Amino acid sequence: MSSELIEALLEEALAILETDDGGATASGDEAVFGLRAGGRPVRVIAADLRCGIDEIEEAIERARRRRPELRFTEDRIAWELHRAVAEKLERDGTGVIAVARRNLVRVRQEKRNSAMEPWVDEWASLLDGDRARLIETMLDGDEHAADLRRLALFAGTLSEAERLLAVRKAGLARAAD
């Protein structure tokens, strides 16, 4: 995993740990989960963040429990990729939405199974609507959302390092099963 991504995760985790709540937040847990998924040993994360190994293990477990139970590896990977995209949407949605709109045009032009047309139309509506609703749909754990994620509408919004981290998170989330 890229050193820039590791540094960003460490900075995020440290900033959250310095807050009044001691870091027991979804974003703090996610930063720790990302560090672990990136291959960093628990003891090293604990040393980096100046906290106990038990705290790190608890944060990792909380992050795992926040993920939907998805049966298939490809569904877990797609969910993690969309989670990473959702984080970008929250930080800078304009670029992400622009890429998705270009991809939507491409998908509409390709000869596809007609059964996919409702998904394409739904994505178009979501992209034109409320960003919170878009993110909620992207990260829903139900079968319909899993079907929508199969269109890979956000291809091109993540760096290679971000994509690799998402795939590793999918594997780490499954490791608890």
- Summarised one tens digit per residue, pLDDT across range 76-107 is 999 999 999 999 999 888 999 999 999 999 88
Q: What is the mean pLDDT of the chain?
A: 88
For residues 6-21, average pLDDT = 72
Largest CA distance in the chain: 55
pLDDT at 116: 79
**Which of 1-5, 26-30, 45-49 has the weakest average pLDDT?**
1-5
> ∠7-12-17 over CA atoms, to 5°?
125
For residues 44-53, average pLDDT = 93
pLDDT at 95: 92
Long-range contacts of 128-135 (CB under 8 A, 24+ apart): 131/89, 131/93, 134/89, 135/86, 135/89, 135/90
pLDDT at 24: 62
Highest mean pLDDT among 1-10, 14-23, 30-39, 102-111: 30-39
Instruction: Give which of 132, 142, 151 is closest to 81, Cα–Cα.
Output: 151
pLDDT at 18: 64
For residues 128-138, average pLDDT = 95
For residues 113-131, average pLDDT = 89
- How far is it, in rounded angstroms, from Cα 38 to Cα 67? 17
For residues 121-133, average pLDDT = 95
For residues 116-133, average pLDDT = 92
Instruction: Give which of 117, 170, 171 is closest to 148, Cα–Cα.
Output: 117
Burial class (CB in 10 A: 0-12, 13-18, 19+), 113: exposed
Q: Which residue has the higher pLDDT, 42 or 111?
A: 42
Above 50 in pLDDT, residue 20? no
